[in-house]
A and B are shown apart, each in its own frame.
Chain A
Amino acid sequence: MQEREHIISMLVNNRPGVLSRISGVFGRLGYNIKSLCVAETMNPDVSRITLVSRANSNFTEKIKKNLDKLIDIVEVKELDRGESVSRELSLLGLVLTADNRPDILRTVDLFGCRILSITDNYVILAAIGTGEETATILNYLKAYEIKDLARTGAIAIEKGGGSRD
């Protein structure tokens, strides 16, 4: 069975222990979580979780049915790539030298990166993009030794407003 990336979007009660229940379901069914992003929605009682996992075609049915059993899950769905938009944010720390400085700072023009912090010898860039765009930026900067990297993983929502919240 073919493996592919699945984006699961959930609305959950904003309470202690909820994330542990959800990750427990993935762990028990043997699915690895590639990325995970959690934050409050406009309703502070409800959080949105966007989660990416690589798995075969059984995945969605199994995961959805088992997540639906959790009392703290308000809604769970797999997002269709065509019917949703997704972005991820990356923060990159790079050592600046006289040689590499112009090339690194060109990412601002080339990819729309933002400079969040800069000193004589170190810069922190912020990059926002789709998974593919993020891969391109990382590929470009790979040559300059990325000292530090933090990525949110994908966050995504449906076009036209699919959720109840």
Chain B
Amino acid sequence: MKMRGAKILLKVLEEEGVDTIFGYPGGAVLDIYDELYRTPGIRHIRTHHEQGAAHAADGYARASGKVGVCLVTSGPGATNTVTGIATAYMDSVPMVILTGQVPTKFIGTDAFQESDITGITRPCTKHNTLVRRIEDLAPTVREAFAIARSGRPGPVLIDLPKDVMQAETEYMAPEKPGSFHDAPAAPVDEEALQQAFRLLRESKRPIIIVGGGIVMGKASEELKSLVETISIPVASTLMGLGAFPGTHPLWLGMLGMHGTYYANMAVSNCDLLMTLGARFSDRVTGKIASFAPHAKSIQIDIDAASINKVVDIDVPVVGDCKTFLSRLIELCREAALTVRPEDRTEWLNDIAQWRKKTPLNYTKNGRIKPQEVIETLQRLTDGKAIICTEVGQNQMWTAQFYRFTEPQTFLTSGGLGTMGYGFPAAIGAQVACPDKTVVDIAGDGSIQMNIQELATAVGNNLPVKIIILNNGCLGMVHQWQEIFYGKRYSHTEIGDSSPDFVKLAEAYGAVGLRASRPEEIEPVLRKALETPRTVIAEFIIDPSESVFPMVSPGGALTDMRLENIIAHD
């Protein structure tokens, strides 16, 4: 049957299981929007900025495990998604971005609302394609979904000229339905597996570092099973939070720049480092020469380019974490290898001593401490809410003090560090998981980067909770200025120009709450969580509170600032 391009596009989206799109209409995508109008099977959430649409599709993908889809017009519509695409690319999030384009005969003529979006996004997409011929449309869209979710996932952009959406061609169902889907996991190299097993067996002081690959690879069960079989302590990167229960006795928390004292000490003193689906960001390793200096290393990653990139690895394994862990568990079973915690007392005692000496902590002083807000939220939600963050202190306090218990419940811009990510991502997550509590933990700076999406949340009756930890400044940069730049607070004090967030919430039709004293934390949080509407809950926090521990950039992980040694004025 002959069909127009716009209809074929939506048909292929439905084939791929898409039921939700985040987007913003415009001239070049009018035909697609016209077709959407007649396609009840696809829900479209219109945001109020294309960046919001891209982050919402990203949040939807991270919370649901499905491919997030975003639809925008040509020119500025497309360029506005670039930060969202780069965010997803750095954090390996499966997304398909559909951009309108001027008609093919106008491409290259500086036509109205023309931009070379495939050129612009080439370095920040896993793949992208400009569809010049209607015959190529269906195969290109199918391939885009396959690429987005296979291997190391990532965003794929398809640029759709207006005339291609208007042209007609024969619609052909896929030759082999689902043939692109779920390509079987590559077999794990048996020799590397045996080597890894031997190292694990011989190690006296092993540690596992988990990253986003465990979350994306849905390998949490296998991880827990291996950890409990041979009693290995687990630390995590920012992206790995949720992969292993934060309440488990073998849990060490996050490592790295703002990692726990005991995670950083354990990594620095281990004799075997097994890294699963993590890529050794500079925020994780600190000074490379001092990183895990006594350890043999095993690294498993689906992306060969992530192995031996930063840290030299003794046993590199290219492959899927889930398959690798399953095989390791089998090997343990075959060899009847179990290690109980009491068989590893020396190492676990060392860790217990570090934990006792320097737990994650903060000092109460009569003002609201951000850590207490997050601890209370953890308690009230039982560690089961979907938590999004913006970027900076709000993000680090959340990573430290919210003990995640399930994968795909922590949505944060880890690689790119995008302020303005959390709120639209929370909208996407709430759409994906309507029955879950979804919270965005924000600062007074970052929430203003995509504040316009309040209209999207309210307009779609999404009960997202926004917690603003208001310290009147761009906190993390302020903290660096305090420690490294002689307290010259250049352009980071923003309190005077911030809006009244309670009134702002009300202006948008949301609920605004505020807490200024520690005893108000719990009642305000309770109120926010009980209110089935979009809520902003603002907490006026102690502006002198900083994020500790802190490893200076490029410093060794053992060289941690544990408190602010610079006296506050």
Name A residues whose Cβ lies closer than 8 Å to a Cβ of B. 16-17, 20-21, 24, 28, 61-62, 65-66, 68-71
Task: Kindly report which residue of chain A lies nearest to residue B147, judged by CB atoms.
Answer: A71
- A62 vs B126: C-alpha distance in the bound complex, in angstroms? 17
Q: Give the residues in chain A near B122, CB-CB below 8 Å.
A: 17, 20-21, 24
Q: B123 is contacted by which of A16, A28, A65 (Cβ under 8 Å)?
A: A28
Is B123 within 8 A of A69, CB to CB? no
- A6 vs B309: C-alpha distance in the bound complex, in angstroms? 20
Task: Kindly report which residue of chain B lies nearest to residue A70, judged by CB atoms.
Answer: B127
Is A17 within 8 A of B123, CB to CB? no
Q: Mark B144-170, 1 if CB is under 8 A from A, else 0.
A: 000100000000000000000000000
Q: Which residues between 84 and 137 of chain B lie within 8 Å of chain A, taking CB atoms?
A: 118-119, 122-123, 126-127, 130
Q: Please tell me if B483 contacts chain A, counting CB pairs below 8 Å.
A: no
Q: B118 is contacted by which of A17, A66, A70 (Cβ under 8 Å)?
A: A17
- A113 vs B304: C-alpha distance in the bound complex, in angstroms? 46
Q: How far is the CB of A56 from chain B (nearest CB, A)?
A: 14
Q: A69 is contacted by which of B119, B305, B308, B309 (Cβ under 8 Å)?
A: B305
Q: B303 is contacted by which of A62, A69, A70, A71 (Cβ under 8 Å)?
A: A69
Q: Give the residues in chain A near B123, CB-CB below 8 Å.
A: 24, 28
Q: Which residues between 274 and 317 of chain B lie within 8 Å of chain A, taking CB atoms?
A: 303-305, 308-309
Q: B119 is contacted by which of A20, A66, A70, A71 (Cβ under 8 Å)?
A: A20
- A20 vs B120: C-alpha distance in the bound complex, in angstroms? 11
- A16 vs B309: C-alpha distance in the bound complex, in angstroms? 30
Task: Kindly report which residue of chain B lies nearest to residue A63, judged by CB atoms.
Answer: B305
Task: Kindly report which residue of chain B lies nearest to residue A65, judged by CB atoms.
Answer: B305
Q: How far is the CB of B307 from chain A (nearest CB, A)?
A: 8
Q: How far is the CB of A49 from chain B (nearest CB, A)?
A: 17
Q: How far is the CB of B125 from chain A (nearest CB, A)?
A: 10
Is B308 within 8 A of A61, CB to CB? yes
Q: A65-B304, A70-B127 are in contact. List 9 more A-B contacts (CB 8 A).
A: A17-B118, A17-B122, A61-B308, A65-B305, A68-B304, A68-B305, A69-B126, A69-B303, A71-B127
Q: Which of A20, A21, A65 has the most CB of B within 10 A?
A: A65
- A28 vs B126: C-alpha distance in the bound complex, in angstroms? 15
Q: How far is the CB of A28 from chain B (nearest CB, A)?
A: 7
Q: Give the residues in chain B near A16, CB-CB below 8 Å.
A: 130
Name B residues whose Cβ lies closer than 8 Å to a Cβ of A. 118-119, 122-123, 126-127, 130, 147, 303-305, 308-309
Q: Give the residues in chain A near B305, CB-CB below 8 Å.
A: 62, 65-66, 68-69
Q: Give the residues in chain A near B309, CB-CB below 8 Å.
A: 62
- A13 vs B309: C-alpha distance in the bound complex, in angstroms? 27
Q: Give the residues in chain B near A70, CB-CB below 8 Å.
A: 127
Task: Kindly report which residue of chain A lies nearest to residue B305, judged by CB atoms.
Answer: A65
- A62 vs B306: C-alpha distance in the bound complex, in angstroms? 10
Q: Give the residues in chain B near A62, CB-CB below 8 Å.
A: 305, 309
Q: How far is the CB of B143 from chain A (nearest CB, A)?
A: 8
- A45 vs B409: C-alpha distance in the bound complex, in angstroms? 44
- A16 vs B410: C-alpha distance in the bound complex, in angstroms? 39
Q: Give the residues in chain B near A24, CB-CB below 8 Å.
A: 122-123
Q: Give the residues in chain A near B303, CB-CB below 8 Å.
A: 69
- A66 vs B122: C-alpha distance in the bound complex, in angstroms? 14
Q: How far is the CB of A26 from chain B (nearest CB, A)?
A: 12
Q: Which of B130, B305, B309 has the most CB of A within 10 A?
A: B305
- A115 vs B308: C-alpha distance in the bound complex, in angstroms? 51
Q: How far is the CB of B85 from chain A (nearest CB, A)?
A: 15
Q: Give the residues in chain A near B119, CB-CB below 8 Å.
A: 17, 20
Task: Kindly report which residue of chain A lies nearest to residue B156, judged by CB atoms.
Answer: A71
- A87 vs B126: C-alpha distance in the bound complex, in angstroms? 35
Smallest CB-CB A-B distances: 9 pairs: A65-B305, A71-B127, A65-B304, A66-B305, A24-B123, A21-B122, A24-B122, A69-B305, A71-B147
Task: Kindly report which residue of chain A lies nearest to residue B132, judged by CB atoms.
Answer: A16
Task: Kindly report which residue of chain A lies nearest to residue B118, judged by CB atoms.
Answer: A17
- A70 vs B152: C-alpha distance in the bound complex, in angstroms? 12
Q: How far is the CB of B404 from chain A (nearest CB, A)?
A: 30
User: Can you list 9 A-B contacts (CB < 8 A)?
Assistant: A17-B119, A20-B119, A24-B123, A61-B308, A68-B305, A69-B126, A70-B127, A71-B127, A71-B147
- A24 vs B123: C-alpha distance in the bound complex, in angstroms? 7
- A70 vs B122: C-alpha distance in the bound complex, in angstroms? 11
Q: Give the residues in chain B near A21, CB-CB below 8 Å.
A: 122
Task: Kindly report which residue of chain A lies nearest to residue B128, judged by CB atoms.
Answer: A17
Task: Kindly report which residue of chain B lies nearest to residue A67, judged by CB atoms.
Answer: B305
- A62 vs B304: C-alpha distance in the bound complex, in angstroms? 10
- A17 vs B130: C-alpha distance in the bound complex, in angstroms? 10
Task: Kindly report which residue of chain A lies nearest to residue B146, judged by CB atoms.
Answer: A71
- A61 vs B126: C-alpha distance in the bound complex, in angstroms? 20
Q: How far is the CB of A59 from chain B (nearest CB, A)?
A: 13
Q: Give the residues in chain A near B126, CB-CB below 8 Å.
A: 69, 71
Q: How far is the CB of A101 from chain B (nearest CB, A)?
A: 47
- A70 vs B147: C-alpha distance in the bound complex, in angstroms? 11
- A70 vs B123: C-alpha distance in the bound complex, in angstroms? 11
Q: Give the residues in chain A near B308, CB-CB below 8 Å.
A: 61
Q: How far is the CB of A25 from chain B (nearest CB, A)?
A: 9
Task: Kindly report which residue of chain A lies nearest to residue B123, judged by CB atoms.
Answer: A24
Q: How far is the CB of A135 from chain B (nearest CB, A)?
A: 35
Q: How far is the CB of B533 from chain A (nearest CB, A)?
A: 44
- A135 vs B304: C-alpha distance in the bound complex, in angstroms? 38
- A69 vs B309: C-alpha distance in the bound complex, in angstroms? 14
Task: Kindly report which residue of chain B lies nearest to residue A15, judged by CB atoms.
Answer: B129
Q: Give the residues in chain B near A66, CB-CB below 8 Å.
A: 305
Q: How far is the CB of B140 from chain A (nearest CB, A)?
A: 11
- A35 vs B528: C-alpha distance in the bound complex, in angstroms? 63
Q: How far is the CB of B316 from chain A (nearest CB, A)?
A: 11
Q: How far is the CB of A37 from chain B (nearest CB, A)?
A: 22
- A65 vs B118: C-alpha distance in the bound complex, in angstroms? 23
Q: Give the residues in chain A near B118, CB-CB below 8 Å.
A: 17
Q: Give the residues in chain A near B304, CB-CB below 8 Å.
A: 65, 68
